[in-house]
Amino acid sequence: MEEEILEYARQRKAQRKAMSKLFSPLGWSLLIYLLIMNLCVYLVMIVDMALRIAGGASMDDPGVASALAGNGTGYLLTIVIGLFLLRLWKGPEFCEETLWTQGRPMRPGDFMSLLALFLGGQLVFQLVTVVLELIMNLFGLSLMSSVESAQISTDSITMFLYVCIGAPIAEEILFRGLVLRSLAPYGKRLAIFMSAFAFAIFHGNLVQTPYAFVVGLILGYVAMEHNIVWAMVLHMINNLLLADTLGRLTEPLPDILANLIPGLIIWACGIAGAILLLVYRDDVSQYRRMDPISWKYVGAFLRTPGVIIMMILLALSAVSPLILQVIENFR
């Protein structure tokens, strides 16, 4: 009996080691991309700052600080480096075939339903923000700095290109391409769930993470069942509409209408999404039963060193505004 227990323990250990070896490169790739992004953004900011100072600009000028924060060149450079490294690592077969795996055709009705669900995810962001803000207020804290950091300005050309075009393409390739397609052999729902989880924590923002997880599930489903291109299209429409176009279109209107129209659109999409989930609840339930998530693979992925380090760094980034407020309150 003791020998059987020891043999079982050895098999379990070997299995965990094999799964860790399998998922470890995936975790390191996410961490490396995160580090490259931060390095590129800070390097570009330093160069931009040096050029402005050489041109006689004052760093005390609020306009200069805003221009530095709105420079999207570092993010665009990250995308170029990231795609180059992905090509070197995964090779042409993955980058030219696996990444673009075709599912069933996207019908107009399917697309409009998914778009309503996707845009309705913004309602999650708003509701979670309100609830968390109320909770934080009980302790004399606020999440408004986190909300502001989640709302990236697209006033500069480089930031517009990144937010509305570059980020949707790069993030879909990273999360719905690399992560999802690498995990797909171990289950569709596992791949969708873990790619959404990685996408959510990658944002490193307390109020944005729940929203990113919800829309990550939708984008993962689209990429898995249809094509990653459609996930990119949905992502682009969301960023273009909510981060840029809608604000520019409503800017000339009175403040009350400029705030009311986006809110009505988001609530309309949220209600439509809830109705769709209710109408198709049997199909959703069947999809869940058809392909149950193997939690041993989830655990193996989360235990990889790259993912652990990334989660620690992003968790610190997410809670740092609150820590600074606590320190300020004790002064």
Distances (CA, A) of 289 to 106, 182, 197, 230: 23, 22, 20, 25
Mean model confidence pLDDT for the chain = 85
Give per-residue pLDDT as tens, 234-274. Answer: 999 888 877 666 667 677 777 777 777 777 888 888 888 88
How many Å apart are CA 244 and CA 300, to the nearest integer?
Answer: 39
Q: Is the pLDDT at 168 greater than 90, yes or no?
A: yes
Confidence band (pLDDT; 50, 70, 90) for 2? low
Mean pLDDT is highest, among 66-70, 80-84, 98-102, 127-131, for 80-84
Give per-residue pLDDT as tens, 189-234. Answer: 999 999 999 999 998 888 888 889 989 999 999 999 999 999 999 9
Q: Is the pLDDT at 12 greater than 70, yes or no?
A: no
pLDDT score for 170: 95
Does the pTM of the predicted model rise above 0.75? yes
pLDDT score for 1: 56
Confidence band (pLDDT; 50, 70, 90) for 153? low
Q: What is the mean pLDDT of residues 48-70?
A: 75
pLDDT score for 268: 87
Q: What is the mean pLDDT of residues 153-169?
A: 87
pLDDT score for 16: 67
- Percent of the chain at pLDDT above 90? 33
**Could you tell me which residues come within 8 angstroms of residue 2 by beta carbon, excluding any fewer than 6 positions away?**
none
Backbone angles phi, psi at 257, to 5 degrees: -75, -40
The structure tokens listed for 202 are 């990658």
Amino acid at 14: A
Give per-residue pLDDT as tens, 250-260. Answer: 777 777 777 77
3-state secondary structure the chain: CHHHHHHHHHHHHHHHHHHHHHHHHHHHHHHHHHHHHHHHHHHHHHHHHHHHHHCCCCCCCHHHHHHHHCCCHHHHHHHHHHHHHHHHHHHHHHHHCHHHCCCCCCCHHHHHHHHHHHHHHHHHHHHHHHHHHHHHHCCCCCCHHHHHHHCCCCCCHHHHHHHHHHHHHHHHHHHHHHHHHHHHHHCHHHHHHHHHHHHHHHCCCCCHHHHHHHHHHHHHHHHHHCCHHHHHHHHHHHHHHHHHHHHHHHCCCCHHHHHHHHHHHHHHHHHHHHHHHHHCHHHHHHHHHHCCCCHHHHHHHHCCHHHHHHHHHHHHHHHHHHHHHHHHHHC
Torsion angle of C-alpha atoms 200, 204, 208, 209, degrees rounded to 10: 30
Between residues 254 and 135, which one has the greater pLDDT? 135
How many Å apart are CA 197 and CA 195, to the nearest integer?
Answer: 5
pLDDT score for 41: 92
Select from 186, 182, 179, 185 the least CA-distant residue to 200. Answer: 179
Q: Is the pLDDT at 38 greater than 90, yes or no?
A: yes
pLDDT score for 322: 84
pLDDT score for 10: 63
- Percent of the chain at pLDDT above 70? 88
How many Å apart are CA 227 and CA 62, to the nearest integer?
Answer: 44
pLDDT score for 198: 93
- pLDDT-wise least confident of 6-15, 46-55, 140-149, 157-166: 6-15
Q: What is the mean pLDDT of residues 276-280?
A: 88
pLDDT score for 3: 62
Q: What is the mean pLDDT of residues 120-140?
A: 83
